[in-house]
C-alpha cells in the first residue's frame, strides 16, 4: 500500500480507486485495463460523494487518463458511451456537462484508436456507436426543447382565453 499522489488515500493499484489519479505510468494492456477499472470505481465513488452532481462527474471524466493500447482504447470508448444519458427529460445543466465530457472522452478514445489501428474492425463499430449516441443525445435535447416550447404555447393560449373571457364578462356586465 502506498499513499495516493492525488488524494492521499491508501492505494496499491496503478490508478487510485478514490480520485482516479494515475500512480505510475501503466505499461501494457493488463496495466491499462486495471487503470480503467480503477477509474470506473473512482467515478462511482465521486458520483456517491457528489450525490450525482453531473458537473463534478463531468470534470472528472474530462481530466481522466486515456489508455494507448487498442483494446483498452475500445474499452474506454465503450465505457464512456455507456455513461451518456440520452433521455431528453433528464437534461439539466449538470447532465449536459457530464454527457458532453463523456462524448468528448469517447470521441478522443475513438480518434486515438483510429490513429493507432486504422484497419482495426472496431474503428468502424465504434464510429457508428459514437454517431448513434450523439444522434440519440441530440434527439433527446430537441425533444426537451419541444416540450418547453409546447408549454409556452399552452400558457399563451390560456392567458389569451383567460383575459379574453374576463374582457367579455366585463363587456357583458355593462
Ligand atoms: Zn486518490
Residue 88 is predicted with a pLDDT of 63
Q: Is residue 40 part of a domain?
A: no
Residue 111 is predicted with a pLDDT of 97
> In angstroms, what is the span from residue 44 Cα to ligand 1's centroid?
13
> In angstroms, what is the span from residue 43 Cα to ligand 1's centroid?
11
Residue 89 is predicted with a pLDDT of 59
Q: Is residue 168 part of a domain?
A: yes
Q: Is residue 14 part of a domain?
A: yes
List the grid coordinates of 4. Answer: 495516493
Residue 156 is predicted with a pLDDT of 86
Instruction: Identify whether residues 3 and 88 lie together within a single domain.
Output: no
| SS3 assignment, position 22 | strand
Q: Show contacts of 13-17: CB within 8 Å, 24+ apart.
A: 13/38, 14/38, 15/39, 15/42, 15/65, 16/42, 17/41, 17/42, 17/45
> In angstroms, what is the span from residue 9 Cα to ligand 1's centroid?
6
Q: Is residue 42 part of a domain?
A: no
> In angstroms, what is the span from residue 31 Cα to ligand 1's centroid?
17
Q: Is the distance from CB of 94 to CB of 54 less than 8 angstroms?
A: yes
Instruction: Identify whether residues 1 and 86 lie together within a single domain.
Output: no
> pTM here?
0.81
Residue 34 is predicted with a pLDDT of 97
> In angstroms, what is the span from residue 99 Cα to ligand 1's centroid?
24
Instruction: Identify whether residues 80 and 108 lie together within a single domain.
Output: yes
- Residue numbers of the domain that contains 25: 1-35
Instruction: Identify whether residues 15 and 93 lie together within a single domain.
Output: no
Residue 90 is predicted with a pLDDT of 57
pLDDT, averaged per 10 consecutive residues of the chain (174 residues), comes to 92 94 95 97 96 94 96 96 80 86 97 96 96 90 80 85 85 77
> In angstroms, what is the span from residue 88 Cα to ligand 1's centroid?
34
> In angstroms, what is the span from residue 19 Cα to ligand 1's centroid?
4
Name the domain count of the chain: 2
Instruction: Identify whether residues 28 and 88 lie together within a single domain.
Output: no
Amino acid at each position: 500500500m502506498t499513499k495516493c499522489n492525488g488524494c492521499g488515500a491508501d492505494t496499491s493499484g496503478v490508478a487510485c480507486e478514490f480520485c482516479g489519479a494515475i500512480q505510475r505510468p501503466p505499461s501494457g494492456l493488463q496495466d491499462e485495463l486495471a487503470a480503467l477499472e480503477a477509474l470506473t470505481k473512482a467515478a462511482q465513488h465521486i458520483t456517491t460523494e457528489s450525490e450525482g452532481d453531473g458537473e463534478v462527474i463531468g470534470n472528472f471524466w474530462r481530466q481522466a487518463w486515456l489508455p494507448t493500447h487498442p483494446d483498452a482504447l475500445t474499452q474506454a470508448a465503450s465505457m464512456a458511451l455507456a455513461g451518456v444519458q440520452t433521455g431528453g427529460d433528464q437534461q439539466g445543466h449538470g447532465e449536459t456537462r457530464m454527457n458532453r465530457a463523456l462524448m468528448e472522452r469517447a470521441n478522443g478514445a475513438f480518434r486515438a484508436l483510429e490513429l493507432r489501428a486504422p484497419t482495426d474492425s472496431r474503428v468502424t463499430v465504434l464510429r457508428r456507436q459514437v454517431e448513434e449516441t450523439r444522434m440519440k443525445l441530440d434527439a433527446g435535447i430537441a425533444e426537451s426543447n419541444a416540450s418547453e416550447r409546447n408549454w409556452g404555447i399552452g400558457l399563451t393560449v390560456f392567458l389569451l382565453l383567460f383575459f379574453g373571457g374576463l374582457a367579455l364578462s366585463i363587456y357583458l356586465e355593462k
